[in-house]
Amino acid sequence: MVGGGQLARMTHEAGIPLGIRFRLLSDTPQDSAAQVVNDVVLGDYRDLETLRAFSRGCDVITFDHEHVPVEHLRALEADGVAVRPGPDALVHAQDKGVMRERLTALGIPCPRHRVVADPADVRAFAEDDPGAGGFPVVLKTVRGGYDGKGVWVVSSEAEAAEPFRAGVPVLAEEKVAFTRELAANVVRSPHGQAVAYPVVESVQVSGVCDTVIAPAPGLSPEAAAHAQHLALTVAHELGVVGHLAVELFETEDGRVLVNELAMRPHNSGHWTQDGAVTSQFANHLRAVLDLPLGDPRPRAPWTVMANVLGGDYPDMYQGYLHCLARDPGLRIHMYGKDVKPGRKVGHVNTYGTDLADVRERARHAADYLRGTITE
Amino acid sequence: MVGGGQLARMTHEAGIPLGIRFRLLSDTPQDSAAQVVNDVVLGDYRDLETLRAFSRGCDVITFDHEHVPVEHLRALEADGVAVRPGPDALVHAQDKGVMRERLTALGIPCPRHRVVADPADVRAFAEDDPGAGGFPVVLKTVRGGYDGKGVWVVSSEAEAAEPFRAGVPVLAEEKVAFTRELAANVVRSPHGQAVAYPVVESVQVSGVCDTVIAPAPGLSPEAAAHAQHLALTVAHELGVVGHLAVELFETEDGRVLVNELAMRPHNSGHWTQDGAVTSQFANHLRAVLDLPLGDPRPRAPWTVMANVLGGDYPDMYQGYLHCLARDPGLRIHMYGKDVKPGRKVGHVNTYGTDLADVRERARHAADYLRGTITE
């Protein structure tokens, strides 16, 4: 697996019972995954020769993030390396412009969008709005953004200068008046076998995923099946191998629009570690190794995941003790990362039959660990 | 953790989400745990200086097996190393003579037993039997046995020569006419906090654990509570820190007698990985690090564990594919070991509401992986 973050850490964890030998390409020995994996290669994933040396002896390579240049992946494939997901799929998770063009051609509902040239073009895009809209407009660099970075909401031409400064193409999108965000997680193998996890609700705070509720409360079986079908269609049409997260906006009239795609285990699937028969991490490995996929069904009526963000104090140990003692059923997942304010350093999962209780337990633990509550 | 076997492998797996930095002392880099742990020290656990160097910088040391000499553990404690479980407890899992003497003094029911000097003394022990019994008698070397090794069932003085050849003291025990074997697994922390898992039935074949059923079918709540209380008493009285497995004989009149003790995660607790809120591995780590313990309750009405033994063919890959495809809910745990006939190379867990079905699924997978069935 290329990339030493928490996704690789948790993928290795899931690979141990499967008997999978896991090799990691990591920037530093301190990276989250590098702390727990035996076979660690240190190097820069942007360097083709590093990737070539890393891949030698691997049955397949897969990814903790979407940042490996597509041209390197094509070169590896030409060498005979199994790259999963492959570059033809992965480009849709790397470049939001390519993704929007392809999904629209497939008839997959997306927010109104257009690549824009400059701030005046942003105004033209806003004024083109056939509905009641116009400004505000969402601007995104087509590459390199994550967790709210690389995304701006602008209300005028004057505010639209900033996104163009990086020199990366900018995509303009209507600001969707969504009622909530959902995520449809599916996994697909090279054989074409696919499984769909229950559709979840994802609660974002400041552009960062805060809480995930599985399944999404109040979502009708028809709407859930529609969202799963949409994600399976995307996986099939784009030839995705491995885990695919489709982030969705749910609108007031009950439609869903695709927000983002991720082709790797995803924050909206962390609940599966303790809430599903087979976790997204295990199924991602099973898929990229072309093993039969595991049962994606939930194990409890409700599972809630809350991200643990770093707070003002670097030492979380007292909070960790408190949370383990207060709630013996709490499932804690720490990433081995140094605490910095706002940084994702772990998550907690809770499950049970009473959603309000399950949600309160997750919320309390995440807030206590961050230090925003003290009792 | 001292020892590179599958118990260390699965303990590391359980430590990853807890954020625990795991250092391993292993014989070779090919050992089951050494394949998946980052921080591996190669060395001989029988050498005190190796243990001293290994322990430096560890908050606590704990064990994958019971074979580290007690005098070395005392020396480490004198150096200020936290050794958990400590030598005063661990000696009861190392030496069956010491264990029997102590449990009997505590009033814990054990089979009739006595350390015997020679084959004639074995005959004297048999003839001393106050009941209907006499021969056969069970003979055990007090140290070094496991999985049926170091245990003999003899029917005459003439058959009793073999066990004395190793020069290790020999314990004679009545051959208990048990109806089945049970195991009571508990975990205790230095604070004295303790949790008890549901009592399980352990089905042995040729002295090796074959299948574990959780909870033990048909065991009355009173009998289960009695066995749990017995195990908690042993943990408390012996000062055990970490996981304690108490293997029990259930007799026709409903009594339980202690067969063996193990002070580490144990085969009879493997079902907890997929069948309990907190696995024995996670709770062992939580205990030895003096963290609050996790909920030991079951997640499903029935969980069954079946050991996967090596068969005649070294390549299990086709069987592995078949089992994953046949049963998407199968929880497989492979140890990364080379296949040798009869060697434990993994286990499977299944869970559900119908015991016959759950048991059949586990049995099928274990038999198919071993190669004793082909469809």
Of A22, A34, A295, the CB nearest to B328: A295
The residue of chain B with its CA nearest to that of A289 is B321
Contact A252, A179 (CB under 8 A): yes
pLDDT tens, position by position, A124-138? 999 987 776 689 999
What was the pLDDT predicted at B146? 64
Q: How confident is the model at residue A82 (pLDDT cuts 50, 70, 90)?
A: very high
Same domain, A366 and A230: yes
Could you tell me if residue B93 is inside a domain?
no
CATH code assigned at A35: 3.40.50.20
Which residues of chain B lie closer than 8 angstroms to A187, CB-CB?
none
Instruction: Report the number of distinct structural domains present in chain A.
Output: 3
Among A247, A243, A235, A272, residue whose Cα is nearest residue A349: A272
Single-letter amino acid, residue A166:
A
Three-state secondary structure string covering A110-152: CCCEEEECCHHHHHHHHHCCCCCCCCCEEEEECCCCECCECEE
Instruction: Please tell me if residue A325 touches chain B, with a CB cutoff of 8 Å.
Output: yes
Confidence of residue A147 (pLDDT cuts 50, 70, 90): low
Q: Which tens digit of pLDDT belongs to each residue from B16-32?
A: 999 999 999 999 999 99
Q: At what angle do helices A317-326 and A355-370 cross, to 10 degrees?
A: 160
Query: B62 versus B253: which is more confidently predicted?
Result: B62
- A interface mutation test: which of B38, B187, B324, B333 has the most A CBs within 10 A? B38
- The answer to whether B227 and B199 have CB atoms below 8 angstroms apart is yes
Phi/psi of residue A194, nearest 5 degrees: -140, 150
Cα angle, residue B306 at apex, residues B302 and B311 outer, rounded to 5°: 160
Angle separating helix axes A70-79 and A48-55, nearest 10 degrees: 40
Whether B334 sits inside 8 A of A19 (CB atoms) is yes
pLDDT higher than threshold 80 for residue B121: yes
Question: Distance between CA atoms of A351 and A328, rounded to whole angstroms?
Answer: 12
Q: Is residue B88 part of a domain?
A: no
Instruction: Quote the CA–CA distance of A108 and A260 in Å, as a whole number.
Output: 12
Q: Do A10 and B16 touch (CB under 8 A)?
A: yes
pLDDT on residue A148? 66
Question: How distant is the Cα of A163 from the closest Cα of chain B, in angstroms?
Answer: 37
| Secondary structure element (H or E) that encloses residue B317, with its range | helix B317-326
Which band of pLDDT confidence, cut at 50, 70 and 90, is reported for residue A314? confident
Judge whether residue B145 has pLDDT over 90.
no
B12: three-class secondary structure by DSSP: helix
Do the domain assignments include residue A239? Answer: yes
For the four alpha carbons of B72, B77, B81 and B85, in that order, the dihedral sign comes to: positive
- Which pLDDT belongs to residue B8? 98
Kindly state the tokens that stand for A212: 């995930």
Domain-located, residue A29: yes
Residue whose C-alpha is closest to residue A155's, from A142, A141, A140, A138 = A138
Q: Does the pLDDT at position B208 exceed 90?
A: no
Q: Please state, rounded to an integer, the average pLDDT across all residues of chain B.
A: 95
Cα distance between residue B190 and residue A115, in whole Å: 62
Residues B283 and B349 in one domain: yes
Chain B contact for A254, CB < 8 A? no
Domain boundary among B174, B192, B223: B174
For the cut 80, the answer to whether the pLDDT of residue B131 exceeds it is no
Which residue has 């990691």 as its token pair? A24
Contacts 24+ apart (CB under 8 A), A67-73: A67/A3, A67/A94, A67/A144, A68/A2, A70/A94, A72/A46, A72/A48
Tell me: do A200 and A169 sit in the same domain: no
Same domain, A78 and A183: no
Determine contact, residues B215/B199, Cβ cutoff 8 Å. Answer: yes
Name the nearest CA neighbour of A72 among A35, A95, A54, A46.
A46
Mean pLDDT of A318-336: 97
The Cα–Cα gap between B36 and B38 comes to 7
Chain center to CA of A64: 10
Query: A259 lies in a domain?
Result: yes
Q: What is the mean pLDDT of residues A288-316?
A: 96
User: Among B35, B36, B270, which would you mutate to test the A interface (most chain A Cβ atoms within 10 Å of its Cβ)?
Assistant: B36
How many beta carbons lie within 10 A of that of residue B22, not counting itself?
23
Q: Assess whether B259 and B198 both reside in one domain.
A: yes
B117 in reach of chain A (CB within 8 A): no
| CB atoms A293 and B18 under 8 Å | no
The pLDDT, as a whole number, for residue A132 is: 60
Name every chain B residue with its beta carbon within 8 A of the beta carbon of A352: none
Instruction: Say if residue A132 is in the same domain as residue A248.
Output: no
B336–A contact, CB cutoff 8 A = yes
> Domain end: B174, B198, B214, which one?
B174
- Is residue B100 in some structural domain? no
Q: Are B33 and A29 in contact (CB under 8 A)?
A: no
Domain containing A225 — which CATH number? Answer: 3.30.470.20
Q: Is the pLDDT of residue A198 over 70?
A: yes
**pLDDT digit string, tens, across residues B64-86:** 999 999 999 999 999 999 999 99
Looking at the structure, tell me whether residues A361 and A295 fall in a common domain.
yes
Q: What is the CATH number of the domain that holds B122?
A: 3.30.1490.20
- pLDDT reported for residue B256: 97
Q: Are residues B47 and B24 in the same domain?
A: yes
B42 touches chain A (CB under 8 A): no
Q: Work out the pLDDT band at B38, boundaries 50, 70, 90.
A: very high
Residues B340-353 have a mean pLDDT of 96
Which residues face B202 on adjacent strands?
B181, B212
Among A9, A19, A293, the residue with its CB nearest the CB of B336 is A19
Residue A80 Cα, gap to closest chain B Cα (Å): 22
| pLDDT at residue B130, as a whole number | 73
Q: What angle do CA A363, A364, A365 make, to 5 degrees?
A: 95
Predicted confidence (pLDDT) per residue in A5-64, tens digit: 999 999 999 999 999 999 999 999 999 999 999 999 999 999 999 999 999 999 999 999
Inform me whether the pLDDT recorded for B228 exceeds 80: yes
A225 touching B (Cβ < 8 Å): no
Any domain includes B193? yes
Distance CA A196, CA B295 (A): 30
B17 neighbourhood in chain A, CB within 8 Å: 10, 13, 273, 331-334
- The number of beta carbons lying within 10 Å of the beta carbon of residue B252 is 8
Q: Is the previous residue joined to A29 through a cis bond, with omega within 30 degrees of 0? A: no
Q: What is the DSSP letter of A232?
A: H
Distance from CA of A19 to the nearest CA of B (A): 5
Could you say which of B83, B99, B123 is where a domain stops? B83
Averaged pLDDT for residues B238-253: 97
pLDDT digits (tens, 9 = 90+) for B322-332: 999 999 999 99
Residue A269 has pLDDT above 70, yes or no: yes
CB B312 within 8 A of CB B341: yes
Does residue A249 sit in the same domain as residue A343? yes
Q: H/E element holding A266?
A: none
Distance CA B60, CA B39 (A): 15
Which letter, b or e, does each residue of B75-108 get, where b requires 16 or more Cβ atoms within 10 Å of its Cβ?
bbeeeebbbbbbbebbbbbbbbbebbebbeeeeb
> Is B223 an 8 Å CB contact of chain A?
no
Residues from chain B contacting residue A346 (CB–CB below 8 Å)? 19
Q: In 3-state terms, what secondary structure has residue B152? A: strand
Domain match, B221 and B159 both: no
> Mean pLDDT, to the nearest integer, of B87-102?
96
Across residues A263-273, what is the average pLDDT? 98
Q: Is A183 contained in some domain?
A: yes
CA atoms within 13 A on the CB side of B217: 16
Q: In the predicted model, what is the mean pLDDT of residues B116-127? A: 94
Residues B274 and B362 in one domain: yes
Q: How far apart are CA B156 and CA B152, in angstroms?
A: 12
- Lowest model confidence (mean pLDDT) among A93-97, A275-279, B132-136, B354-358: B132-136
Chain A residue with Cα closest to B274: A277
Is residue B224 scored above 90 in pLDDT? Answer: yes
B332 CB near a chain A CB, below 8 Å? yes
Same domain, B67 and B208: no
Given this model, what pLDDT does residue B132 score?
61
Which residues span the domain enclosing A284? 178-370
> What would the mean pLDDT of B238-248 be, rounded to a whole number?
98
ipTM confidence: 0.96
With CA atoms as reference, the chain A residue closest to B14 would be A13
Q: How far is A52 from chain B (nearest CA, A)?
A: 23
3-state SS assignment for residue B168: coil
Q: Does residue B12 belong to the interface with chain A, where contact is any CB pair within 8 Å?
A: yes
pLDDT in tens, A167-180: 889 999 999 999 99
Q: Do B41 and B25 touch, CB atoms closer than 8 A? A: yes
Among the partner residues B10, B12, B18, nearest to A334 by beta-carbon distance: B18
